[in-house]
Amino acid sequence: MKSTYNKVMDDLRGKSLKELLNIFAQLQLPQYKAKETFRQIHHGLKGTIDQISILKKEERALLAEKYQLDQPQVIKHQHEGETEKIAFKLSDNLVIESVLMQYEGERNTVCVSSQVGCPVACQFCATGQMGFKRNLTVGEILSQIYYFATKHKISNVVFMGMGEPLLNYKNVMKAIGILNQELGQNIAKRKIVISTIGITEGIKKLMTETGQLRLAWSLVASFDHLRKELIGMKNLPSISSIVRAIHDYQQKTKRRVTIEYVLLKGINDGPEAINELAEITRKIDSHVNIIPYNEVAGGRFSSGDAERIYEKLKRRRVNVTTRQSLGKKISAACGQLTTK
């Protein structure tokens, strides 16, 4: 689809229903048409203002004087089995990637990006090696999901694509609010996962959100010194401060947290590291998801033995699963997204 972006224009896709009602009031357009316009954008997935059928030609023209529906352009499309990866070119020519994973006809999950590049700079992650360019707008976050929603009923959304979602908190939460709307995609918050490296300020803010949003903590390593070696971000919160933030979060929300553990052979899979991982799980209500490392071009890591670590944690009575990696051949699996 051709991008018709004009930087002066404001993207209607990023407006909440309340904001859209205000815009319609200011333009002296009927309020019932604002609701229907919202429905046509977020449920009907209309891609341009011209396609909004509830509006008369002159009403569309009035709206189009100030607003547009920004439409990222698909520049690459790759498939592997039930996994589909799309590269989108944004209005400023930056590129992001998003992935659809279909699980045996039961679930259609979109792995969505929240930033272009990532400031966290994990050494084992292709996105982390790109550097950080900018936060995505609300419309850009939603557009990734809507692209797949034109073809499939989307049941789940995971903020595990490019970027650290809690460092783009406002836009991510606004996009989730719109996804959750009955007039939109109506995706329940309990079907949405936010994966963080452990941004404590963001975890504290999450406590105040309504609904059953799910939180995943990408632990990476069970000792602070090793975490600092593997994660480039300055002022990385310590494991104990993240545990405290999650503890407070759980006091308020009563929600179990997933601890994601990317297995790096010879680095974080030794007996001491795994024992410490088991200790951390005792401090919070959690479940460990072991993620076999997915190779990236030029990377110096390889995956540890997920089966062995799984058994070891089971013996220590840790609630544990191993993640099924989808889309490795098209570099769509965890840690492989990049636009380099």
Residues that bind ligand SF4 (CB under 6 A): 118, 120-122, 125, 127-128, 162-164, 197, 335
The catalytically annotated residue of 97, 140, 164, 276 is 97
Shortest separation between residue 233's beta carbon and ligand SF4, angstroms = 8
- What minimum distance in Å lies between the beta carbon of 307 and ligand SF4? 23
Catalytic residue (one of 118, 122, 125, 334): 334
Q: Which residue, 125 or 213, has its beta carbon nearer to ligand SF4? A: 125
Annotation marks residue 97 as catalytic = yes
CB of residue 129 to ligand SF4, shortest distance in Å: 8
Among residues 14 and 161, whose Cβ is nearest to ligand SF4?
Answer: 161
Contact (Cβ atoms closer than 8 angstroms) between residue 116 and residue 134: yes
Which 8-state DSSP code applies to residue 264?
A: B
Angstrom distance (rounded) from CA 66 to CA 299: 46
By beta carbon distance, the residue nearest ligand SF4 is 128
Is 334 one of the catalytic residues? yes
Q: Residue 163 CB, nearest distance to ligand SF4 (Å)?
A: 6
Nearer to ligand SF4, 105 or 298 (CB): 298
- 149 or 220, CB closer to ligand SF4? 220
- Ranges of H-type helices in 184-223: 200-206
Rounded to 5 degrees, what are φ and ψ at 75?
-115, -15
C-beta separation of 98 from 110 below 8 A: yes
Nearest CB to ligand SF4, comparing residues 197 and 280 = 197
Minimum distance between the CB of residue 212 and ligand SF4, rounded to whole angstroms?
Answer: 23
**Quick one: CA dihedral 311, 312, 315, 318, positive or negative?**
negative
Q: Is the dihedral of CA 229, 195, 313, 281 positive or negative?
A: positive
Q: Both tokens of residue 199?
A: 């941004």
Q: Look at residues 3, 328, 324, 41 and name the one whose alpha carbon lies nearest to residue 181.
A: 41
For every residue of 55-100, DSSP letters joined together read S-HHHHHHHHTTEE---PEEEEEEEETTEEEEEEE-TTS-EEEEEE
Please give the positions annotated as active site. Answer: 97, 334
